Amino acid sequence: MAGGIGSRFWPLSRPEKPKQFIDALGIGKTFIQMTYERFSEFIVDENFLVVTGEIYRDLVLEQLPMLKLEQVLTEPCRRNTAPCVAYATYKIYKQNKDAVAVVTPSDQYIGNQDVFAKQMQMILDYAAKSESLVTIGINPTFPATGYGYIQMENVNEEICKVSAFKEKPDLETAKKFLTAGNYAWNSGMFIWSIKSIKAALEKHVPNIAASFAGVSRVYGTPEELETVNKVYEQSENISIDYGVMEKADNVYVCRSSFSWSDIGSWGSLYDQLPKDDSLNAVSGNDGKYVHSDGCLVKELNAGKRVVVDGLTDYIVVDDKDVLMICPRKDEVRIKKLIEASSK
């Protein structure tokens, strides 16, 4: 899924080139390229589908040249993740009714790649043999208020039943979740057989299911783009979490054995980057730090360098039309600044 606009990452992430298409880590690879490489260890190129906005089709093909045009499914408007999943599901179902699929955001950071590949293949095998809808839960390391949570049963089992999905909590509730020990962060990754998710879509979001099933005759034909665009424009705006996962009774969770971050904010990017002796984040050759501690510099203009002197715990982002300088640890303040500057 590569249709988001990454608004919390402004000004690095803009509507014309959002987070998934940017080298935020300064390693020469964008998030979508890292996502492809992660899965290409055990999935062949022809089995990838990317669902993205129409305006990002060329960006996808530029950054993932191994994919063909027909593997990039486009959305004419944003309708959240349930229509996105339904489109891909019915397109795959037409080709292979026995397929098993992984649904993943394109803009996450995953460490321990070998562990990730092994665990995903285990879950794919499990999903192929059952009618379960499986999600990946992340072991919480702090009382996060920016993630949804999954409440689990039988926590000692490798794949356990989901009791409930919980919306993003306030701090006190997040602390209780962390103490309870049977909650995981919701990663937004799902694994299921195409038959299982098709049945779940038809039961829980029947209008969306009927719309995409009803045009299956055009999948793989020249009529697909125009026909699907009309379906999207009339579709309900709803997430797969709210529309299906929170209602289904065959939902299971596997807690991750790998490191994970959605890198959804400047603070989470800082956490993932290597640091110098003064805890300044190191991202490529973007910044030179003098008498500064705990800072993050992101330079978006090629060939330009930012020198930071005498700052502590600040974020400095320099783009061609925006210079953002703000305290690193105050995420709420950063969000308000972003919203004000985007108007």
- CATH label of the domain that carries residue 68: 3.90.550.10
Give residue 256's region: left, alpha or beta (phi > 0; psi -120 to 50): beta
CA 50 to chain centre: 12
**Tokens for 119?**
């665990």
Shared domain check, 115 and 49: yes
Predicted confidence band of residue 14 (pLDDT cuts 50, 70, 90): confident
Predicted confidence band of residue 202 (pLDDT cuts 50, 70, 90): very high
- Region of poorest pLDDT, from 4-13, 54-63, 253-262: 4-13
Tokens 């904010």: give the residue.
265
Shared domain check, 298 and 239: no
- Give domain status of residue 266, yes or no: no
Q: Read off φ and ψ for residue 111, nearest 5 degrees.
A: -100, 180
Domain, as residue range, for 328: 274-342
Shared domain check, 279 and 237: no
Mean of pLDDT values over 60-77: 96
Shared domain check, 137 and 113: yes
**Tokens for 37?**
């490489």
Residue 341 burial (C-beta neighbours within 10 Å; 0-12, 13-18, 19+): exposed
Query: How many domains does the chain divide into?
Result: 2
Q: Give the Cα separation of 243 and 74 in Å (integer).
A: 21
Residues with Cβ within 8 Å of 50's Cβ and at least 6 positions away in sequence, in order, are 2, 32, 60, 64, 67, 71, 72, 73, 106
| CA distances, 13 to each of 6, 10, 338 (Å) | 6, 5, 11
Residues with Cβ within 8 Å of 273's Cβ and at least 6 positions away in sequence, in order, are 25, 26, 281, 282, 283, 296
Predicted confidence band of residue 331 (pLDDT cuts 50, 70, 90): low
For 125-135, the pLDDT digits (tens) are: 999 999 999 99
Smallest Cα–Cα separation from 201: which of 103, 128, 338?
103
Q: Which of 200, 230, 261 is the last residue of a domain?
A: 261
b/e 255-292 (16+ beta carbons within 10 angstroms → b): bbebebebbbbbbbbbeebeeeeeebbebeebbebeeb
Q: Which ranges of the chain does DSSP label H, i.e. alpha helix?
A: 31-40, 57-63, 81-95, 113-129, 171-180, 194-204, 206-213, 224-234, 240, 266-272, 331-342
pLDDT at residue 340 is higher than 90: no
Q: Specify the pLDDT at position 126.
A: 96
Q: Give the Cα separation of 156 and 170 in Å (integer).
A: 27
Smallest Cα–Cα separation from 311: which of 288, 330, 290, 329?
290
% of the chain beyond a pLDDT of 70: 95
Average pLDDT, rounded, for the chain = 91
Q: Which ranges of 50-112 does DSSP label H, i.e. alpha helix?
A: 57-63, 81-95
End-to-end CA distance of the chain: 27
Shared domain check, 153 and 87: yes
Q: Give the Cα separation of 27 and 29 in Å (integer).
A: 6
Q: Give the Cα separation of 155 and 213 in Å (integer).
A: 37
Q: Specify the pLDDT at position 143.
A: 92
Shared domain check, 230 and 317: no
Q: Specify the pLDDT at position 282.
A: 78
Predicted confidence band of residue 284 (pLDDT cuts 50, 70, 90): low
**Tokens for 264?**
């959804």
Task: Name the 3-class secondary structure at 314.
Answer: strand
Mean of pLDDT values over 133-148: 92
Shared domain check, 249 and 278: no
- Give domain status of residue 127, yes or no: yes
Shared domain check, 296 and 250: no
For 150-200, the pLDDT digits (tens) are: 999 988 889 999 999 999 999 999 999 999 999 999 999 999 999 999 999
Mean of pLDDT values over 44-53: 97
- Give domain status of residue 268, yes or no: no
Q: Is the dihedral of CA 173, 158, 269, 190 positive or negative?
A: negative
**Tokens for 78?**
């944003």
Predicted confidence band of residue 329 (pLDDT cuts 50, 70, 90): confident
